[in-house]
Structure 1
Amino acid sequence: MEIVWDERGGATVVRDGHPQSYVDPDDPLLLVFEYVEQFALVLEALRPDPAPLRVTHVGGAGMTLARWVHRVHPGSPQIVLEPDVALTDLVRRELPLPRGHRVRVRPERGQDGVRGLRDGSADVVVVDAYAQGRIPGELAGAAWVAELDRVLAPGGLVLVNAADEPGLRWVARLCATLHGAFGHVGQLVLQEVAKGRRFGNVVVVASRAPLDDVRLRRAAARASFPSTWRGADEVRRLVGGAAAFGPVGEPSPAPPDPGSLRLS
C-alpha cells in the first residue's frame, strides 16, 4: 500500500494495486472519486440539516467521506471499521484527521464490528469495503443485511458502494437481498455504467422509508460526471427475478486489470 501525492497537494491511497481514496487535507469538500461524490450528494439530498449524524463506515482507507461528514455535519460521532491496521497507521501519519473530529477507528472487519454495535445506534451506515478489488461475500448476504437492519436507527440510511460488470447482475442480487429488510432501494449510478458500457460503481441506497426521488434526481443532475437516479420502483423492475443472496453472499465480480497505476 502507498499514498501517492499529486502536484495539487492531494493524495491517493492505493491498496492491492487499486486506488482506494483521494484526500485533499486542506479541502475535505473536494471529492474526486465519483462514487464518494455520489455518497455526499445522497446525504445532501436526504439529510440537508447540518445537525450531527451518527455514521458507521464499513471500510476506511483515507476516510474521505468521514472528513466530509465532519465538515458538513460538525460534531458527528463516527465509527470507522477498518481491519488493516497498517493502512490506518499510514493514513493517520500522512493524512491526519482534522482537529475536533469525533471519528473512532476500530481495527475490525465489517461483520465483526457491526455485530458489536448497539441496536439502532447508526443514522447512516456506509459500506465501502473491498478485498483485492472485490466486495467480500460476507458483506452482501442476508445475514449481513439483517445486522444492518438491527443497527440502523428509525429513519436511517444504508449506502453501499457496489461494483459490477455490464448488466449489473451482481448488483441486482444485492438489491434483492436488501429488499428483504428495507422496503425502498434506489441507485445513483454513472450513465455509462447504467447503459452497460463498462465495469463500474453503483451507489445503492436502502431505507425503510420512501426515498425522495425529486431531491435525488436533482442531486444526480449536480454530479460532476453524468449520473442518473433510479428510484425504488425502477430498481424493483430492473431487479426483476434476481435471486437474493443466502445468509452468506457471493463476492462482487473482479474488476478489470488496472494495469500500471498512473496518477497525474
Structure 2
Amino acid sequence: MMAKRAAREPTPGLYPVTYGEVELLQDYDRPSGWLLSMGGVPQSYVDLDDPEYLDFEYVRLMADVIDLLDEGPLDAVHIGGGGFTIPRYLAATRPGSRQIAIEPDAGLVQLVRDQLRLKSVPLLKVRVADGRAGTAELWDDSADLFVLDAFTGAVMPVELATAEYLADVARVLRYRGTLLINLADGKGLAFARRLLATVCAAFRHVALLADPGVMRGRRFGNLIVAASRVELPLDDLVRRAAGGLTQARCLHGATLERFTAGAAVIHEGDSVVAPVPPPSLFDS
C-alpha cells in the first residue's frame, strides 16, 4: 500500500491574486496558524491543525451563534471566502454539513487551495462569482445558515446591504434558517444603524453583537448581526457573548429598536458610503 503523501506546508510571502496582492504570514506563537491579509488589512486567520481555533474576536462571536443553532449538520452558504475559516469550523463541529462558498477572487481561491489545504474541507463547494450573482443562482429554501462576510479590503460592498439583496437571501434561507452578517463601522455607527434597519425590515427576529467599545461607536471595529424568521436563542446568546473572551454586548428587542430608531432602510440606488477604517487601525 502506498504511503499517504504529507500535506505541503504553506510558504509565507506576498502573492498576486485577481484583485490585488495578499500576504500570507505564519503565527510564530502557533505554528499551524496562518494570517491572510490584503493591503495591510487582516482578512482571515486559519489554524490548519485545529479548525475549531478562532483567533479573531468577531469570528468567535459568529461561532457562538452557530453553536446555538439546532444540533446536527447544516446546509450553509458563505458569501466571501478569504481563508474559509467559518466553513472549516462548521465542517469540524458539525460533520456532514454541506456548504457553498461564493468568492469573486479566483486567484485568492487558488492560493488558498494551494497553500491552506482548502481541498481538505469536506463537502465544501467553492463558486467564483460576486455575491449578488452567486446568490441569485442558489435554490429557494436551500440553506439553514447564510453567512455574509464579504469585504473589499476593509469595506463591505454596499450592494450586499440593500433590502433587495436581503430579500434574495431570505428566498434562499429555509423558514427556520439563520442569517449572519459581519459588518464594520466606527464613530456614530451610521452605516450599522441603516443596515440593521434593513435587516429588521426583512427578518422578524434580529440581534446585534459587538465589543462594548465598538457598540458605543467609540472605536472602529466589527459587529455581528444574527437574524431569522423564528426566535433566536437570545438568553443563551447573551450569556455566551458576555462570558466569552470578547465580553460582547448583545442588543435585541426594544434595545435594538432604539439603536435603529430613525435609520432609513437601504435600497438599491441609495447614496450610501460604507465606512472606511482609520489608517492607523491596522498598524502593528
1:260 & 1:147 partners in 2: Cα distance? 34
Letter of the 2:36 partner, please give it. Answer: V
The corresponding residue for 2:154 is 133
Deviations 1:186-224 (A, max 9, x none): 101111111222011100111111222211111102321
Give 2:47's aligned residue. Answer: 24
Q: Does 1:214 align with 2:235?
A: yes
Per the normalisation by structure 1, the TM-score is 0.94
Deviation (angstroms), 1:168: 1.3
SS at 2:254 equivalent: helix
* Aligned-partner SS, 2:174: strand
* Alpha-carbon distance change, 251 to 135 in structure 1, aligned in 2, over 3 angstroms: farther
State whether residues 141 and 248 of structure 1, in contact with CA within 8 Å, keep that contact through their aligned partners in structure 2: no
1:112 aligns with 2:133: yes
Match of 1:253 in 2: 275
| SS of the residue 1:57 aligns to | strand
Distance in 2, Cα, partners of 1:145 & 1:214:
26
Counterpart position of 2:16: none
| RMSD of equivalent CA atoms | 1.6
Residue 88 (structure 2) aligns with: 67
Higher relative contact order (CA 8 A, sep 6+): 1
Structure 1 segment 91-240 matched on structure 2, within 5 A: 91-97=112-118, 99=120, 101-240=122-261
SS in 1 for 2:230: coil
Letter in 1 for 2:143: A
SS at match of 2:45: strand
The answer to whether the 8 A contact 1:52-1:76 is kept is: yes
CA contact (8 A) 2:97 2:123 kept: yes
In the other structure, the counterpart of 1:6 is 27
Query: Which residue identity does 1:133 align to in structure 2?
Result: A
Identity rate, percent: 40
Gaps of 5+ in 2: 1-21
| 2:113/2:119 contact within 8 Å kept | no
Equivalence for 1:76: 97
CA distance in 1 between counterparts of 2:171 and 2:209 reads 24
Report the equivalent of 2:7: none
Q: Which has the larger radius of gyration?
A: 2
Select 2:64's aligned residue among 22, 25, 41. 41
Q: For residue 16 of structure 1, what is the amino acid of its counterpart?
A: G
Q: Which runs of 4+ in 1 moved over 4 A?
A: 258-262
Kindly provide the CA deviation profile for residues 140-192 of structure 1, in whole angstroms up to 9, marking residues without a partner as x: 01111110111111101110001111221111100111122111111011111
Does the 8 A contact of 2:80 with 2:101 survive in 1? yes
Q: Is the 8 A contact 2:88 2:121 kept in 1?
A: no
Residue 163 of structure 2 aligns with an amino acid whose one-letter code is A
Q: Specify the SS of the correspondent of 2:202.
A: coil
- Whole-Å Cα distance in 2 between the matches of residues 24 and 11 of structure 1? 6
> What SS does the aligned partner of 1:118 have?
coil
**How far apart, CA to CA, are the structure 2 residues paired with 1:178 and 1:259?**
27
Q: d(CA) in 1 for partners of 2:249 and 2:90?
A: 23
TM-aligned CA distance change 1:100 to 1:142, over 3 Å: closer
Structure 1 residue ranges without an equivalent (≥5): none
The one-letter code sitting in structure 1 at the alignment partner of 2:279 is: D
